């Protein structure tokens, strides 16, 4: 089997092939490193690359396998970790000049679980400074480009992860999502991107552990890989008060779930958001396809009038907590959008925070009721096509001006405010050949059913899902 072919295989196929001896971990890691050497100079998705250490670890995996020992379900499979999460012995730069080159002394929880499962870490994936914004660029490593069009954004903040996976530099990658940082780059990269329920994938990072806004997940090329990875990285954690105490093995036995007779709520624009015409058309076509698959698709008028208040309040509080000191101590080294988030939080009073907290409770209960009557909500994953890489962010959509640097991604952030799990799934391509995803939203802790419906959707759009960039 050629090295190039190895980079087209799923995570499951690579793990199975290594385990059965069809190929070695060293061959798999070397093939992905060669792919990185060939493509990364143009795409700029993988940073802090450590090829020698990765190959040494792959050889260790092969020796252990020969001796009858297997580390876990990812034994010998390569990946890279988003540059917001710690990997022992690797830099965690956060895309910031303040922390550039700072080496982590221990693994984060998600990395520890992937390491225990046998993953081999080849480096980090690029992210915007402190993960702020859904376009991946920073002053340390530069901008990540979309493999479908190198003049376009790969999205963010998990843009490096998505660009590496869609181009075959990695078979899968971890990701994180506050206002769309998994779903947006997954849509821009024709990938499966799961934002799980808060606590499904536990974290022990500092800050407000009770806030359900920022969550950890993965980006993959297919739904079954997502399920496999979720079975590995999810599970309870004593330091995470929201962590979900359910058996992660439930995700290993998913089966396609029929849409026939299933009520699906459909929101064309999530409360009147502006959309680029091709995104609107792709979302409408997805609703029609679900109806063709037998679903009872019901267009709903969602009350999301408080969602922006909820998201923007708690987002700014998170940045005030996590990066307020950085912005105050190093204003010349912190980008303006991060300083803005900190300054907005400084202006909050107790009444605003209490109002936003009560609104979040109302949204949660409203959506739990909606998703008690309907199996899923179908909505646009993004509001725009991948935009020019030189832009910091879109400043208008379909003639409507965007107020803040993240306003253009409200199709994701409004769902974040509800605390429901959500997925971005491949749906269509634009006239320019750019991917367009759709968003499926499920009930709280309803990931298993979401994944089963997603398997059926994936089969229905197999031609779209299989379309990889011609790099």
Q: What is the pLDDT of residues 365-415, one digit of tens each?
A: 999 999 999 999 999 999 999 999 999 999 999 999 999 999 999 999 999
Q: What pLDDT is recorded for position 378?
A: 99
Q: How confident is the model at residue 1 (pLDDT cuts 50, 70, 90)?
A: low
Q: Classify residue 470: in a domain, yes or no.
A: no
The whole-number average pLDDT for the span 73-83 is 98
Cα gap 271→253, rounded to integer Å? 36
Q: What pLDDT is recorded for position 228?
A: 98
Cα 149 to Cα 42, 144, 146, 152: the distances in Å are 11, 11, 5, 6
Q: Classify residue 39: in a domain, yes or no.
A: yes
Q: Under a CB-based contact definition with an 8 Å cutoff, are residues 333 and 93 in contact?
A: no
Q: How confident is the model at residue 243 (pLDDT cuts 50, 70, 90)?
A: very high
Nearest alpha-carbon partner for 459 in 204, 229, 257, 315: 257
Q: Classify residue 73: in a domain, yes or no.
A: yes
Predicted TM-score (pTM) of this structure: 0.98
Count of domains in the chain? 1
Q: Under a CB-based contact definition with an 8 Å cutoff, are residues 193 and 185 in contact?
A: yes
* Residues carrying an active site annotation: 82, 157, 181
Q: What pLDDT is recorded for position 51?
A: 98
Q: Classify residue 132: in a domain, yes or no.
A: yes
Q: Classify residue 455: in a domain, yes or no.
A: yes
Q: Classify residue 471: in a domain, yes or no.
A: no
Q: What pLDDT is recorded for position 462?
A: 98
Q: What pLDDT is recorded for position 190?
A: 98
Q: What is the pLDDT of residues 435-459, one digit of tens each?
A: 999 999 999 999 999 999 999 999 9
- What is the domain extent for residue 317? 3-465
Cα gap 436→163, rounded to integer Å? 15
The whole-number average pLDDT for the span 31-37 is 98
144 Cβ contact partners less than 8 Å away, ≥ 6 residues apart: 43, 44, 45, 126, 136, 137, 153, 154, 156, 159, 160, 163
**Strand residues in 130-255 grouped as ranges (E):** 145-146, 149-153, 173-177, 192-195, 215-220
Q: What pLDDT is recorded for position 471?
A: 86
Q: Classify residue 20: in a domain, yes or no.
A: yes
Q: What's the chain's average pLDDT?
A: 97
Q: Classify residue 218: in a domain, yes or no.
A: yes
Q: What is the CATH number of the domain that holds 9?
A: 3.90.1300.10
């Amino acid at each position: 089997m050629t090295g190039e072919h190895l980079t087209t295989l799923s995570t499951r196929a690579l793990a199975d092939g290594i385990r059965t001896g069809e190929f070695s971990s060293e061959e798999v890691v070397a093939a992905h490193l060669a792919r990185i050497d060939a493509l990364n100079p143009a795409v700029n998705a993988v940073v802090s690359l450590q090829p020698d250490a990765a190959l040494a670890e792959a050889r260790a995996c092969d020796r252990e396998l020969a001796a009858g020992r297997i580390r876990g379900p990812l034994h010998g499979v390569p990946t890279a970790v988003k540059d917001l999460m710690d990997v022992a012995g690797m830099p965690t730069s956060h895309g910031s000049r303040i922390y550039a080159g700072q080496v982590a002394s221990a693994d984060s929880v998600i990395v520890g679980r992937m390491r225990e499962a046998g993953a081999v870490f080849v480096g980090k994936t690029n992210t915007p400074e402190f993960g702020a914004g859904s376009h991946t660029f920073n002053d340390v490593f530069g901008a990540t480009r979309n493999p479908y069009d190198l003049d376009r954004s790969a999205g963010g903040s998990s843009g490096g992860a998505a660009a590496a996976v869609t181009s075959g530099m990695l078979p899968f990658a971890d990701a994180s999502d506050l206002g769309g940082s998994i779903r947006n780059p997954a849509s821009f990269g024709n990938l499966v991107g799961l934002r799980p329920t808060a606590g499904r994938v536990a974290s022990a990072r500092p800050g407000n552990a009770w806030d359900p806004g920022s969550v950890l997940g993965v980006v993959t090329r297919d739904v079954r890989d997502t399920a496999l990875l979720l079975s590995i990285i999810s599970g309870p954690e004593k330091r995470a008060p929201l962590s979900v105490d359910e058996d992660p093995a439930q995700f290993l036995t998913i089966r396609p779930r029929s849409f026939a007779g299933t009520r699906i709520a459909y929101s064309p624009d999530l409360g009147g958001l502006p959309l680029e015409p091709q995104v609107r058309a792709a979302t409408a076509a997805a609703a029609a396809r679900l109806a063709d698959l037998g679903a009872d698709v019901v267009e709903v008028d969602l009350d999301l009038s408080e969602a922006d208040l909820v998201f923007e309040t708690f987002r700014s509080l998170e940045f005030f907590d996590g990066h307020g000191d950085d912005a105050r101590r190093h204003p010349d080294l912190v980008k303006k959008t991060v300083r803005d988030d900190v300054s907005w939080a400084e202006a909050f009073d107790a009444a605003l925070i209490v109002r936003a907290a009560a609104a979040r409770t109302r949204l949660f209960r409203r959506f739990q009721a909606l998703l008690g009557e309907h199996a899923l909500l179908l909505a646009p994953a993004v509001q725009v096509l991948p935009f020019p890489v030189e832009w910091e962010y879109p400043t208008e959509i379909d003639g409507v001006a965007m107020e803040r640097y993240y306003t253009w991604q409200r199709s994701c952030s409004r769902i974040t405010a509800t605390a429901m799990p959500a997925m971005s799934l491949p749906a269509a391509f634009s006239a320019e050949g750019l991917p367009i995803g759709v968003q499926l939203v499920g009930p709280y802790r309803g990931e298993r059913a979401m994944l089963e419906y997603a398997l059926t959707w994936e089969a229905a759009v197999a031609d779209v899902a299989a379309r990889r960039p011609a790099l």
